[in-house]
Amino acid sequence: MIRFFRSGNPLTVLLLFIYTLLIKFYYLLHPSTFLADGSEGLVYNLLTTWLEGLVGKSPLFFTTIALLLQFLQALLLTRIINNHRLFAKDNYLPAMSFLLFTSLLEAWNVFSPALLVNTIMLWIFSSIADLYMRTSARDVAFNMGFALGICGLFYFPAIIFAALLLISLLIMRAFRLAEWIVGLLGLICPFYLLGTYLFLTDRWEKVESLPVIGFNLPVITDYKVWGALIVSVLFFVIGWLLLQRTYSKMLIQGRKIWATVVVHVLVAMLVPFFSEHFSAGYWVLAILPVSLFAGNVFWSIPNNTFANALHIIVLAYVIVMQYFSH
């Protein structure tokens, strides 16, 4: 199995789609509607209300949309990674890892604000990767800030990713205060436009329904959440350690991109704690960058038999958690 995903052959996309259906079939058998816990943004509420008007509260529809989005995210992630040569050869291992690791927890396969934010974060990740080669980055900084502002309209704590934006600018480029200011202005812009629209349409009272930043240190008692976290963090750490073997041989741009991915993981792990209502489902934000390190674990194992054995162990854990634990 791993041998096929090591290849950059475009036909691997078909195998990846079949893999997605197999590993996420449980969620199609037991579909959920969408996540609404009070932390979601106004635009997310408008979107789900519109979709409900079209299809009602169809669990199968929302779960199908969620899984298709994850498959699309896996393909986009692969394209970004291969375009920027983050691995020695083109491959689909990070895409496979993303689909595998999002299957560790049922809450990571529900239509949610985090799922939509992840889609936007892929574009931001691609923009960050391009920063090193640009002579001027004010326009890119504004666009990334604007995209983060849109993320905040879906899931308000996502504005914490502003830390990723600023640190990435510091890693990828020499410090320029103007780029930081322009990026923060971009972040504010979507909220300004939303406020203007609500004011002009005499709906200002909706501002009171906007979520706020909170801070929670929950006591997690669900063993499934702990299991998913331990597996994800373990692969992140191992993937980072294995990366050190080739880190010094990479181009400067490649090293800087990997450094921003580490920051992405750390910030994404913190974001759910700033939700008004904590939910482990929002940790799917961290699985997107973690999948690069998980993919590196499988890539760095030269023996396909051992790599397959490791994959089967994780896959078996996923299946046990899906079908045999309640």
Q: What is the pLDDT of residues 33-82, one digit of tens each?
A: 888 877 788 888 889 989 988 888 889 999 999 999 999 999 999 999 99
- Nearest alpha carbon to residue 139 among 127, 148, 122, 151: 127
Answer yes or no: are the C-beta atoms of 187 and 148 closer than 8 Å: yes
Please report, rounded to a whole number, the percentage of residues in the chain having pLDDT higher than 70: 98
**Rounded Cα distance, 325 and 281, in Å:** 18
DSSP 252: H
Answer yes or no: are the C-beta atoms of 158 and 117 closer than 8 Å: yes
Answer yes or no: are the C-beta atoms of 22 and 104 closer than 8 Å: no
pLDDT attached to residue 77: 95
- Within-domain flag for 178: no
- Hey, CA dihedral for 7, 125, 167, 136, is it positive or negative? positive
40 - beta bridge partners?
155
Answer yes or no: are the C-beta atoms of 243 and 294 closer than 8 Å: no
**Rounded Cα distance, 109 and 301, in Å:** 29
Answer yes or no: are the C-beta atoms of 182 and 142 closer than 8 Å: yes
3-class DSSP assignment, residue 40: strand
pLDDT attached to residue 277: 80
Say if residue 212's pLDDT is above 80: no
pLDDT attached to residue 208: 67
Say if residue 288's pLDDT is above 80: yes
Residue-wise pLDDT tens digits, 139-193 = 999 999 999 999 999 998 999 999 999 999 999 988 888 889 999 999 999 988 8
pLDDT attached to residue 128: 93
**Rounded Cα distance, 256 and 258, in Å:** 5
pLDDT, mean of residues 14-20: 93
Say if residue 6's pLDDT is above 90: no
Residues 6+ apart with CB under 8 A from 212: 156, 276
- Within-domain flag for 187: no
User: What's the pTM value of the predicted model, to 2 decimals?
Assistant: 0.93
Residue-wise pLDDT tens digits, 78-130 = 999 999 889 988 999 999 999 999 999 999 999 999 999 999 999 999 999 98
- Within-domain flag for 104: yes
When computed from its CA atoms, the radius of gyration of the chain, rounded to whole angstroms, is 20
Provide the residue range defining the domain that includes 18. 2-119+213-323
Highest mean pLDDT (candidates 134-138, 162-166, 217-221): 162-166
pLDDT attached to residue 266: 96
Say if residue 204's pLDDT is above 80: no
- Within-domain flag for 290: yes
Tokens at residue 36, please?
């609404």
- Within-domain flag for 79: yes
- Within-domain flag for 139: no
Say if residue 211's pLDDT is above 70: no
pLDDT, mean of residues 292-308: 91
Per the prediction, the chain carries an average pLDDT of 90
- The band of 22, judged by pLDDT with boundaries at 50, 70 and 90, is very high
3-class DSSP assignment, residue 46: helix
- HSE at residue 2, side-chain half, CA atoms within 13 A, is 22
pLDDT attached to residue 136: 81
- Within-domain flag for 126: no
- Within-domain flag for 16: yes
The total number of structural domains in the chain stands at 1
pLDDT attached to residue 35: 85
**Rounded Cα distance, 287 and 293, in Å:** 10
pLDDT attached to residue 185: 94
Which residue, chain included where needed, has tokens 């504004």?
142
Say if residue 209's pLDDT is above 80: no
